[in-house]
């Protein structure tokens, strides 16, 4: 389920024109990811107690999705925030079938990678519907 969530967000970002999108599990060296790149991950996933109906089971699901934009240290904060507002935020807020909200936005230098990181944490909730098999 985690892989599906991450891959779906990665695909949506790419369709919106965000280049160099990687998963948090990607092992590609940083120097091969491009000047500016985006990392998608899920920090938590909660599946609530199922709701049973005669022919269907509904699973309420909540996740904390983390999207991190990493840009060279010489990028201005306006450039980085502008990229987030123009390309990333609309994708996160318009994900069909999900209720989403921007929970936090943090900016910090990443001295190990010599980059500036803009990390957005988004709360997402949805219901997965599974048909019950009859005996």
The pTM of the full predicted model, rounded to 2 decimals, is 0.84
Average pLDDT over residues 36-58: 93
Tokens 């985006």 map to which residue? 38
d(CA 36, CA 13): 14
87 touches 13 (CB < 8 A) = yes
* CA 57 vs CA 49, 96, 98: distances in Å: 10, 20, 18
Structural domains in the chain, CATH included, are: 2-131 (3.30.2000.10)
The pLDDT confidence band at residue 15, using thresholds 50, 70 and 90, is: very high
pLDDT for residue 109 is more than 70 = yes
Q: What is the pLDDT of residues 50-67, one digit of tens each?
A: 999 989 999 999 999 999
User: Which pLDDT does position 135 carry in this prediction?
Assistant: 66
Decide if pLDDT at 97 tops 80: no
Instruction: Quote the pLDDT of residue 38.
Output: 94
Bigger pLDDT: 133 vs 106: 106
Q: Can you tell me the mean pLDDT for 76-94?
A: 90
């Amino acid at each position: 389920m985690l892989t599906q969530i991450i891959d779906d967000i990665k695909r949506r970002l790419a369709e919106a024109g965000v280049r160099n999108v990687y998963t948090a599990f990607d092992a590609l060296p940083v120097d091969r990811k491009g000047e500016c790149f985006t990392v998608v991950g899920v920090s938590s996933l909660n599946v609530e107690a199922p709701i049973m109906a005669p022919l269907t089971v509904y699973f309420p699901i909540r996740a904390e999705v983390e999207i991190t934009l990493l840009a060279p240290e010489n990028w201005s904060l306006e450039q980085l925030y502008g990229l987030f507002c123009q390309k990333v935020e609309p994708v996160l807020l318009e994900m069909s079938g999900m209720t989403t909200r921007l929970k936090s936005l943090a900016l910090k230098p990443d001295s190990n990678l010599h980059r500036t990181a803009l990390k957005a944490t988004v709360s997402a909730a949805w219901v997965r519907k599974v048909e019950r098999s009859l005996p």
